[in-house]
Amino acid sequence: MKKKLLATAMMCFVMMTAQAQIYGYDDYVRMPTMDLYDPGVMNMAIRAQAEAAARQQEMIARRQEMFRFYASRALEAHKAQRWYDVIENATQAISIEPIGLIFVTRGEAYEALGYYKEALNDYKTGKKDNCPEAATAYNALKAKMKEMKKRK
């Protein structure tokens, strides 16, 4: 057990030392760091940061485009009363960007199919996003469910 522990400690020490770099013009070991006074290194760092920002903006634009695609498909299916398509496309849109109005659209589809519990959850989530349509639909469905309980 002691040999194994000693061997592990030695390997860790060797690996830590191997990560350091030995420069030809230096007679000591220096850990790799960015030299702030070297304009070439700074230009590389600035260029890399600009490229990363551009990729991030491109990714955001792509996500927004996908959200608009799924949200418009959900609204088209809602107009045609294809409720399962509404649920599928609204779920995709919500996974990209959870906006209250999309929760209302999906909640209406659940309500039309008779899945009142799921519809209430979607309306409640839309209410948390300060969507007035969600609050109205939530209250209307609650009243409808009370009425249904009274009839039973």
> Rounded to an integer, what distance in angstroms lies between the CA atom of residue 125 and that of residue 107?
10
> What pLDDT sits at residue 17?
54
Mean pLDDT across the stretch 134-149?
Answer: 91
Mean pLDDT computed over every residue of the chain = 83
> What pLDDT sits at residue 35?
55
Mean pLDDT across the stretch 119-144?
Answer: 92
Q: Using H for helix, E for strand and C for coil, what is the string for the chain?
A: CHHHHHHHHHHHHHHHHHHCEECCCCCCEECCCCCCCCHHHHHHHHHHHHHHHHHHHHHHHHHHHHHHHHHHHHHHHHHCCCHHHHHHHHHHHHHHCCCHHHHHHHHHHHHHHCCHHHHHHHHHHHHHCCCHHHHHHHHHHHHHHHHHHHHC
Mean pLDDT across the stretch 82-91?
Answer: 95
Give the tens place of pLDDT for each residue, 117-126.
999 999 999 9
> What pLDDT sits at residue 23?
46
Give the tens place of pLDDT for each residue, 5-41.
777 776 666 555 544 444 444 445 555 555 556 666 6
> What pLDDT sits at residue 112?
94
Mean pLDDT across the stretch 85-100?
Answer: 94
Mean pLDDT across the stretch 89-95?
Answer: 95
